[in-house]
Amino acid sequence: MNLLSLPRARIARWEVARSLRDLPLTAIWAILAYGGAILFMTPFVWMLSSSLKTQAQVFVFPPEWLPNPIQIENYWRAWTIQPTHLFFWNTIKVTLLATLGDLISSSLVAFGFARLRFRGRDVLFIVLLATLMLPAHVTLIPHFIFFWVLGWVNTHLPLIVPHWFGSALHIFLLRQFLMTISVELDDAAKIDGAGFFDLYRYIAMPLAKPALGVVAMYSITSHWTEFTQPLIYLSSKHLFTLAVGLRAFQTEQGFDLVHIMMAMATLAVLPVIVLFFVGQRFFVQGIVLQGMR
């Protein structure tokens, strides 16, 4: 063996030995990962399978995972047996308006906490973080009374307007990201005559796109799947969101049309799944940028 190749050979043997030592641990993690994936995917697969079956096939035991024949008309019935188009429109309207307000208000407040220097700023930020420890259900009754006095009950306003005043979690996430942006960029812009809102619009927000993308995904998913607040504030069926519409369908039909309900649930969850696959790049880009900083 050549002397020059000896160290390289030893390194190769050492890497092989280390790989063999780590193999049991790697196998355990792989089993846990695949097992967890199967566990979490099983309800979705069952829902998708049931949405393509007849009512009788849904309750067959052991379950038949592959529907035969495929009942694609279940989706048309799910769209027509209930005003599903209204449920979709209401959910889209509430989600988009609430998310837009959340992004604007949370980013503006976060930029203020990250850049402005004023007395009591840190104390105010701690108070903001303390609100995260307050369970949301504790404030349901005060909120309901407040919106009832305003005459907003049985409208979409209680689901939209509060989010135009920011979210504590999203303010925290955006503030932490904005703190990593160099202040020298602000100083250079100020020399050119930029004001506070110019710094916010032209410096901070373009650089914070990864964080804004993550916050937007969190907000959209939260509003799209929200059940408790629409259930409390909405009583007219033509105002229902998808989550409350599904509940109303279950209450009216019971277990008589489970296959139709599964088709309706599949239609409701598909936009969230598409959003996840489309928005993965925001998470990856955010992680890469944080690592570079």
Q: What is the maximum span of the chain, computed from C-alpha positions, in angstroms?
A: 89
User: In terms of Cα–Cα distance, which of 253, 232, 254 is closest to 244?
Assistant: 232
DSSP of the chain: --GGGHHHHHHHHHHHHHHHHHHHHHHHHHHHHHHHHHHHHHHHHHHHHHTTS-HHHHT-SS--SS-SS--THHHHHHHHTTTHHHHHHHHHHHHHHHHHHHHHHHHHHHHHHHH---TTHHHHHHHHHHGGGS-GGGGHHHHHHHHHHHT-TTSSHHHHGGGGG--HHHHHHHHHHHTTS-HHHHHHHHHTT--HHHIIIIIIHHHTHHHHHHHHHHHHHHHHH--HHHHHH--SGGG--HHHHHHHHHHHHTTTTHHHHHHHHHHHHHHHHHHHHHHHHHHHHHHHHHHH-
DSSP of 90-123: HHHHHHHHHHHHHHHHHHHHHHHHHH---TTHHH
Q: Tell me, what's the pLDDT at 244? A: 92
Joined together, the tokens standing for residue 101 give 């307000």
Query: What mean pLDDT, rounded, does the chain reach?
Result: 82
* Residue type, position 132, single letter: L
Most confident of 54-63, 184-193, 206-215: 206-215
Q: Tell me, what's the pLDDT at 7? A: 61
Residue 6 has pLDDT above 60, yes or no: no
Residue 145 has pLDDT above 80, yes or no: yes
Joined together, the tokens standing for residue 166 give 């920011």
The pLDDT confidence band at residue 289, using thresholds 50, 70 and 90, is: very low
Q: What's the Rg (C-alpha) of the chain?
A: 26
pLDDT digits (tens, 9 = 90+) for 232-267: 999 998 999 999 998 888 887 777 788 888 888 888
Greater confidence (147 vs 180) lies with 147
How far out from the chain centre does Cα 253 lie?
30
Residue 5 has pLDDT above 70, yes or no: no
- Burial readout 225-254 (b: 16 or more C-beta within 10 A, e: otherwise): ebeebbebbbeeeebbbbbbbbebbeeeee
pTM, 2 dp: 0.80
Residue 8 has pLDDT above 70, yes or no: no
Average pLDDT over residues 137-157: 91
pLDDT digits (tens, 9 = 90+) for 216-230: 988 998 999 899 899
The pLDDT confidence band at residue 292, using thresholds 50, 70 and 90, is: very low
Do residues 227 and 293 lie in contact, with contact meaning Cβ atoms separated by under 8 Å? Answer: no
Phi and psi torsions of 11, nearest 5°: -60, -40
